[in-house]
Amino acid sequence: MTTHLLRGASPLGGAATDVLLADGRVAALGADARSGADAGTVTVDADGLVLLPGLVDLHTHLREPGREDAETVRSGTRAAAAGGFTAVHAMANTSPVADTAGVVEQVWRLGRDAGWVDVFPVGAVSVGLAGTQLAELGAMAHSAARVRVFSDDGQCVHDPVLMRRALEYVKAFDGVIAQHAQEPRLTVGAQMHEGAVSAEVGLAGWPAVAEEAIIARDVLLAEHVGSRLHVCHLSTAGSVEIVRWAKARGIAVTAEVTPHHLLLTDELARTYDPLYKVNPPLRTAEDVEALREALADGTIDIVATDHAPHTREDKDCEWAAAAFGMTGLETALPIVATTLVETGRMTWADVARVLSSAPARIGRVDTGPTPQGRPVAVGEPANLTLVDPAARWTVEPRQLRSASTNTPYGGRELSGRVVATFLRGRPTVLDGAPVDTDLDGTDPR
Amino acid sequence: MTGLRHLLSAADLDHAGAIAVLDTAAQMAATQSREIKKLPTLRGRTVVNLFFEDSTRTRISFEAAAKRLSADVINFSAKGSSVSKGESLKDTALTLQAMGADAVVIRHHASGAPHRLAHAGWVDAAVVNAGDGTHQHPTQALLDAFTLRRHLAGGSDNPDGVGLDLAGTHVAIVGDVLHSRVARSNVLLLHTLGARVTLVAPPTLVPVGVEAWPCAVSYDLDGVITDQQPDAVMMLRVQRERMGAGGGAASGATSFFPSPLEYTRTFGLDARRLRMLPDHAIVLHPGPMNRGLEISADAADSDRSVIVEQVSNGVAVRMAVLYLLLAGEREGWS
């Protein structure tokens, strides 16, 4: 395997050093790295670049099997690599639903064969996401896919008894239930955040309380049964308060926020452009500020993309007819850099925590056969991302690598750009572009 | 009319622009008492009535308006949409574009559909919103304002109130505000014209976020009538599916009020409430009415009722809108 020498990289934004990648691991740092390089070593000029552990997404929709017209495991993971990720958790709401060992193993194998990132399938909590009967959680946990995260994402596990059973059951294999918190009866037909803007534009409201009520119930359930709970795409200031309270009580709850909820607000619904239609919906500027604050102070543990590709026909229509969701793998890191690093509220070490080590820990993929989210240290797997913190770039939807173009950031200028990504020492991205063929012209995967 | 290419919302009209439409409508109304009602103004232009939702009265009003301006009229009844896996709004729009429509009058069940039609780059035509979901119905607000101005601002020397606004008048809008595009449009336009608006409804039928609207909100119709003596009362239609009894529970929906009887007792305009209004006050309803629910026959058929007049004023106002959007009359409409 080709060895790589990253010259002058700044691990977590610290002092510049040289980093030698060999045999899939970080082989040496500093002077040892230079002396360890040989004639065959490929040198990467990393002067001025921040070196991060490879990013880990706990919430990705890869759409395969079932909606390969929107995204495939291969196209989605290539986009993920371009966004600096070395691992993604593939959500279960595919067709068929990932509610059996067979489907999660299929997705896991597709990910392994594509070779862009490690794909960790998420298993459905209930059969067919129907919310009535537990899926075979144990079979998925003990399959080759080693599932640890279970979620009916897209649907809320709204039955309190089913939620309780799920929380209890996954303790046997240290699993976690990732809840899509949405009280269904309060959100029938809901189209956007319920507030001043929805009242004016006449789109049915999705009230904050529909999220907060479920989170409040679930943290109490998690406390009662002593289980781990993860809250998907937390979107309101009130949800932050509940999670803060639960953590102070010692409840084992973790929470994620999406990049779009850190940046965009419900004011965008005034355009009626379905690119801004997402679930949970874009909230108010006050919510955005509360989410940024909570991410910076650790109340919210991680940033997860909720990358949700959709075909053009599912967005090229009136708002009510359009699908919920937006792509996000290739813009996640730049949005965190723009909203929190550039503003001085987080360091690059914080970024490594919220986009790599913490999500890997929640998904229990920081150990096992292909550990992710590990420190940048000698002997660790060489899952690494090089970021140019000074780069400013304008998002051009057609230049992104996802098979779908439903990004809400077209034309927007962002700071921070992924220059290179390494998966166990092998470059998946160099000079900002996916490495589609090896130097000898063969597909490296 | 510098800049205004479409009429999507009552918010598109500023004070001068709204007055210009109403004054033009007054001119149009004057021509409608002639024996020959037809004007040659839009000869050779094509107006498409694109209706995704049944509304015979609004469609024929626009149709009459366009025909009296000599435009060619195409009625396109597109039942269903991409929601029901019919032809998508985009493909319908591209079809109209290919046919050379100069104006598209659109009625759609989805809020914002006219906005998409105007701004997604699918058509070049002027877009007139004839009612979209629970968002806006600007020509309804214009015909209501036209009617209010005739009765409350006009005098014997100026029966249509030409040049005047509605400053100093107080209008109570009563009923299902939550689902009403008529209420949203009227709140904005009446505010623009200087009127004071009070919305009256059970709290379940007032949207969260109403605090930002330029109006007052009351849950007490008797109190508003007794204490504030409004100059006009506009009753909104209450749709069957909002009610408790009869299908509500079976369909899994939770009704917005306990029963039609309780609604009528609390928010209906009956003979007693009609008597409590000041002598000059008028009663409006956008139609179609539920007699016996939100409005009694006494009120609907009383001398104060201007409900039939609203319909004829609708044609004049829609003539004015089409004329101003298509015929190049620009002054005063900004």
Q: Residue B73: helix, strand or coil by DSSP? A: strand
Q: pLDDT value at position B167?
A: 97
Mean pLDDT across A388-408 = 97
Chain segment A45-67, per-residue pLDDT in tens: 999 999 999 999 999 999 999 99
Tell me if B112 and A194 make a contact (CB, 8 A cut-off): no
Tell me if B208 and A205 make a contact (CB, 8 A cut-off): yes
State phi, psi for A28 to the nearest 5 degrees.
-165, 155
B298 or B37, greater pLDDT: B298
Q: pLDDT value at position B249?
A: 45
**Fold for domain B138-308?**
Rossmann fold (3.40.50)
Residue from B6, B108, B111 whose CB has the most chain A CBs within 10 Å, to mutate: B111
Inter-helix orientation angle B138-152/B181-192, to 10°? 50
The alpha carbons of chain B give a radius of gyration, in whole angstroms, of 20
Query: Which residues does B152 contact at the CB level (< 8 Å), separation at least 6?
Result: B161, B166, B169, B231, B232, B280, B282
- Which residues of chain A does B205 touch, with a Cβ-Cβ cutoff of 8 Å? none
Tell me if A319 and B110 make a contact (CB, 8 A cut-off): yes
Q: Is the pLDDT of residue A264 over 50?
A: yes
State phi, psi for A256 to the nearest 5 degrees.
-120, 155
User: In terms of CA atoms, which chain B residue is nearest residue A274?
Assistant: B116
What are A312's two structure tokens?
């053009």
Q: pLDDT value at position B262?
A: 95
Chain segment B89-127, per-residue pLDDT in tens: 899 999 999 999 999 999 999 999 999 999 999 999 999
Cα A269 to Cα A290: distance, rounded to the nearest angstrom: 20
Instruction: Please name which of A293, A295, A311, A294 lies closest in space to residue A303, comparing C-alpha atoms.
Output: A295
Task: Give A241→chain B minimum CA distance, Å.
Answer: 22
Q: pLDDT value at position B197?
A: 98
Q: pLDDT value at position B80?
A: 53
Residues 302-341 in A contacting B (C-alpha not used; CB under 8 Å) = 313, 316-321
Q: pLDDT value at position A445?
A: 54
Mean pLDDT across A310-320 = 94
Q: Is the pLDDT of residue B243 over 80?
A: no
Q: Is the pLDDT of residue B281 over 80?
A: yes
Mean pLDDT across A30-43 = 95
Write down the architecture of domain A4-51+378-391+411-434 according to CATH.
Roll (2.30)
Chain segment B301-315, per-residue pLDDT in tens: 999 999 999 999 999
Q: pLDDT value at position A121?
A: 98
Mean pLDDT across B253-277 = 94
A85 is in an annotated binding site: no
Among all chains, which residue has been given the structure tokens 């409804």?
A: B201
Chain segment A320-367, per-residue pLDDT in tens: 999 999 999 999 999 999 999 999 999 999 999 999 999 999 999 999
A197 touches chain B (CB under 8 A): yes
Tell me if B81 and A318 make a contact (CB, 8 A cut-off): yes
* Domain boundary assignment for chain B: 10-136+311-326, 138-308
A4 is in an annotated binding site: no
Q: pLDDT value at position B248?
A: 44
Chain segment B127-173, per-residue pLDDT in tens: 999 999 999 999 999 999 999 999 999 888 999 999 999 999 999 99
Q: Is the pLDDT of residue B3 over 60?
A: no
pLDDT confidence band for B84 (50 / 70 / 90)? low
Query: Which residues does A5 contact at the CB level (< 8 Å), separation at least 6?
Result: A18, A19, A20, A21, A33, A34, A37, A41, A42, A43, A44
B10-136+311-326 CATH, one of 3.40.50.1370, 3.30.365.10, 3.10.20.30, 3.30.70.580: 3.40.50.1370
Tell me if A200 and B213 make a contact (CB, 8 A cut-off): yes
Q: pLDDT value at position B82?
A: 44
For residues B38 and B67, the answer to whether their CB atoms sit within 8 Å is yes
Return the number of CB contacts < 8 Å for A and B.
87
A53-362 CATH, one of 3.40.50.300, 3.40.190.10, 3.20.20.140, 1.10.240.10: 3.20.20.140
A173 is in an annotated binding site: no
Query: Residue B82: which of A191, A273, A321 has the nearest Cβ?
Result: A321
Catalytic residues of A: 306
Interface of B with A (CB under 8 A): 81-83, 88-90, 108-113, 115-116, 119-120, 132-136, 181, 184, 207-213
Q: Name residue A206's amino acid.
A: W
- Which residues of chain A does B140 touch, with a Cβ-Cβ cutoff of 8 Å? none
Residue from B8, B92, B116 whose CB has the most chain A CBs within 10 Å, to mutate: B116
Interface confidence, given as ipTM, is 0.89
Q: pLDDT value at position B332?
A: 42
Q: Is the pLDDT of residue B86 over 60?
A: yes
Q: pLDDT value at position B294?
A: 96
Give Dmax (Cα) for chain B: 58
Q: Is the pLDDT of residue B241 over 90?
A: no
State phi, psi for A53 to the nearest 5 degrees.
-60, 145
* Domain boundary assignment for chain A: 4-51+378-391+411-434, 53-362
Cα A374 to Cα A361: distance, rounded to the nearest angstrom: 9
